[in-house]
């Protein structure tokens, strides 16, 4: 069967992966309302296409912190990719590099920063969880710098792990043949089976619950890399992030895996963009499955989007070739959406190209 869209990879992954692994990747927190809403919210945003624009040449390129990327579609950090495919993060790194885009490596990866760097050239960001042991954190950041990573993505919504009921039922734990490679040799690379979710137990032991804005300042003292804050959903926190010197914001609800009943990220995006006032770039993470979704995010002011689950599911289905195909399909769909909307470059995508349920009708109805 020929795969014609990103969603089809999830069905293949579900058949191929052990239940514990598929459930870990696919599930959200508690009632999973936000998980469904991350997708559904996109369907409530409609297009206002402009016609008879010469779209014979379309330029999707952009820059992120001065690095040129082929399109505003990048790879979000997702943990433990070798559970999906033996090549894991190596395959994802190669696919991102081939597509001319950015890969973000998770702290909880099954390949280390050095191993990912060894796959060859590419623009890579490192996602960071702040652990109780700040020496380990400082060491990780230095290793990422040395391995040529270009930014730190600080996850700020996971001081405690959300209640993911599938993981509790499955007694989720990292398979014994795998380790969290960035922590190997620090005695925190293994994850034991627990009475509920092994990851929840691991996170409770390792992640620092006292993390606050002062730690963003501390991070700036140990690295010159730009720091993106991932997990912002409100105008209030956006303003604090700007004051704290964040280099960028990723509007994210952690793939709906943390606090259920937060809004879909596409619904929180405009509030954050307005509060940022152009002082830093705002990106979106969560629910992107179509090129139309990418266009909608950019029309609402995002500088780009990050994709997570589509990478895991395509990796499980077809390894590196699957991830390449997902990036290509999203690129092709996005280019087509631009053409059909009358946009030749990213800067031509404006708020007027879409309408949300909150927009008032632009024309008064005739009585």
Say which residue the tokens 């470059």 belong to.
Answer: 345
Overall average pLDDT of the 78-103 stretch: 98
The confidence score (pLDDT) of residue 61 equals: 98
**319: nearest Cα among 111, 9, 10, 85:** 85
In the chain, the percentage of residues whose pLDDT exceeds 90 is 86
Helix/strand/coil for 130: coil
Question: What secondary structure does DSSP assign to 305-332, as a single string?
Answer: EEE-HHHHHHHHHHHHHHHHHHHHHHHH
Question: pLDDT of 9-33, one tens digit each?
Answer: 999 999 999 999 999 999 999 999 9
Q: Judge whether 106 is annotated as a binding position.
A: yes
Question: What secondary structure does DSSP assign to 255-301, as a single string?
Answer: GGTSSTTPPPHHHHHHHHHHHHTTSS-EEEES---SHHHHHHHHHTT
Q: What residues have CB less than 8 Å from 188, skipping those under 6 apart? A: 131, 136, 180, 206
Say which residue the tokens 């089976």 belong to.
Answer: 193
Q: Judge whether 56 is annotated as a binding position.
A: no
The confidence score (pLDDT) of residue 192 equals: 59
Confidence of residue 1 (pLDDT cuts 50, 70, 90): confident
Dihedrals phi, psi of 125, to nearest 5 degrees: -110, 155
| 75 beta partners | 103, 307
Structure tokens that stand for 61 in this block = 């390129």
**296: nearest Cα among 314, 188, 287:** 287
Q: What residues have CB less than 8 Å from 244, skipping those under 6 apart? A: 213, 216, 217, 229
Q: Judge whether 220 is annotated as a binding position.
A: no
Confidence of residue 362 (pLDDT cuts 50, 70, 90): low
| 250 beta partners | 230, 283
What CA–CA distance (Å, rounded) separates 36 from 264? 9
Question: pLDDT of 143-183, one tens digit each?
Answer: 999 999 999 999 999 989 899 999 999 999 999 999 999 98
Parallel, antiparallel or unpaired: strands 46-47 and 124-128: unpaired
Position with higher pLDDT, 2 vs 201: 2
Dihedrals phi, psi of 340, to nearest 5 degrees: -75, -15
Question: pLDDT of 113-146, one tens digit each?
Answer: 999 999 999 999 999 999 888 999 999 999 999 9
- The answer to whether the beta carbons of residues 13 and 25 sit under 8 Å apart is yes
What CA–CA distance (Å, rounded) separates 309 from 10? 8
Residue 240 has pLDDT above 60, yes or no: yes
Say which residue the tokens 């879909």 belong to.
Answer: 264
Catalytic annotation, pick one of 57, 254, 353, 358:
254
The confidence score (pLDDT) of residue 332 equals: 98
Confidence of residue 363 (pLDDT cuts 50, 70, 90): low
The confidence score (pLDDT) of residue 207 equals: 83
Q: Judge whether 85 is annotated as a binding position.
A: no
Helix/strand/coil for 365: coil
Residue 8 has pLDDT above 60, yes or no: yes
Q: What residues have CB less than 8 Å from 220, skipping those under 6 apart? A: 227, 245
Sequence length of the chain is 367
Q: Judge whether 118 is annotated as a binding position.
A: no
The confidence score (pLDDT) of residue 184 equals: 84
Q: Judge whether 217 is annotated as a binding position.
A: no
Residue 202 has pLDDT above 80, yes or no: no
Question: pLDDT of 31-74, one tens digit each?
Answer: 999 999 999 999 999 999 999 999 999 999 999 999 999 999 99
What CA–CA distance (Å, rounded) separates 120 from 336? 31
Residue 365 has pLDDT above 60, yes or no: no
Question: pLDDT of 290-312, one tens digit each?
Answer: 999 999 999 999 999 999 999 99
Say which residue the tokens 């002011």 belong to.
Answer: 301
What CA–CA distance (Å, rounded) separates 5 from 11? 12
Q: What residues have CB less than 8 Å from 55, skipping those under 6 apart? A: 338, 339, 342, 343, 344
Q: Judge whether 263 is annotated as a binding position.
A: no
Q: Judge whether 77 is annotated as a binding position.
A: yes
The confidence score (pLDDT) of residue 358 equals: 84
Q: Is 254 a catalytic residue?
A: yes
In the chain, the percentage of residues whose pLDDT exceeds 70 is 93
Considering the chain, what is the average pLDDT of its residues? Answer: 94
pTM to 2 decimal places: 0.94
Alpha helix positions (H), 17-164? 19-26, 33-40, 88-99, 113-117, 134-146
Residue 198 has pLDDT above 70, yes or no: no
Residue 111 has pLDDT above 60, yes or no: yes
Question: pLDDT of 253-267, one tens digit each?
Answer: 999 999 999 999 999
């Amino acid at each position: 069967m020929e795969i014609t869209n990103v969603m089809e990879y999830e069905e293949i992954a579900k058949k191929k992966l052990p239940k514990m692994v598929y459930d870990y990747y696919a599930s959200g927190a508690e009632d999973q309302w936000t998980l469904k809403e991350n997708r559904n919210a996109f369907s409530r945003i409609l297009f206002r296409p402009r016609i008879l624009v010469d779209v014979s040449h379309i330029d999707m390129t952009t820059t992120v912190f001065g690095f040129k990327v082929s399109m505003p579609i990048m790879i979000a950090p997702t943990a433990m990719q070798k559970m999906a495919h033996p090549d894991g993060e190596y395959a994802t790194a190669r696919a991102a590099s081939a597509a001319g885009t950015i890969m973000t490596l998770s702290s909880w990866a099954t390949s280390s920063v050095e191993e990912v760097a060894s796959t060859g050239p590419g623009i890579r960001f490192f996602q960071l969880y702040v652990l109780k042991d700040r020496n380990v954190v400082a060491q990780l950041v230095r290793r990422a710098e040395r391995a040529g990573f270009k930014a730190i993505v600080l996850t700020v919504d996971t001081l405690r792990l959300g209640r993911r009921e599938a993981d509790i039922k499955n007694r989720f734990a990292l398979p014994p043949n795998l380790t969290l490679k960035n922590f190997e040799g620090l005695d925190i690379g293994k994850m034991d089976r627990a009475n509920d979710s092994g990851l929840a137990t691991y996170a409770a032991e390792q992640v620092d619950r006292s993390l606050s804005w002062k730690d963003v300042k501390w991070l700036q003292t140990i690295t010159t890399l730009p720091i993106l804050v991932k997990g912002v959903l409100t105008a209030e926190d956006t303003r604090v992030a700007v004051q704290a010197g964040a280099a960028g914001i990723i509007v994210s609800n952690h793939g709906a895996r943390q606090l259920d009943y937060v809004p879909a990220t596409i619904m929180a995006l405009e509030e954050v963009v307005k509060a940022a006032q152009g002082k830093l770039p705002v990106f979106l993470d969560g629910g992107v499955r179509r090129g139309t979704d990418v266009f909608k995010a950019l029309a609402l002011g995002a500088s780009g989007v990050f994709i997570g689950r589509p990478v895991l599911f395509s990796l499980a289905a077809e390894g590196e070739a699957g991830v390449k195909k997902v990036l290509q399909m999203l690129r092709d769909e996005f280019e087509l959406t631009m053409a059909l909307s009358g946009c030749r470059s990213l800067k031509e995508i404006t708020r007027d190209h879409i309408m949300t349920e909150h927009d008032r009708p632009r024309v008064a109805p005739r009585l």
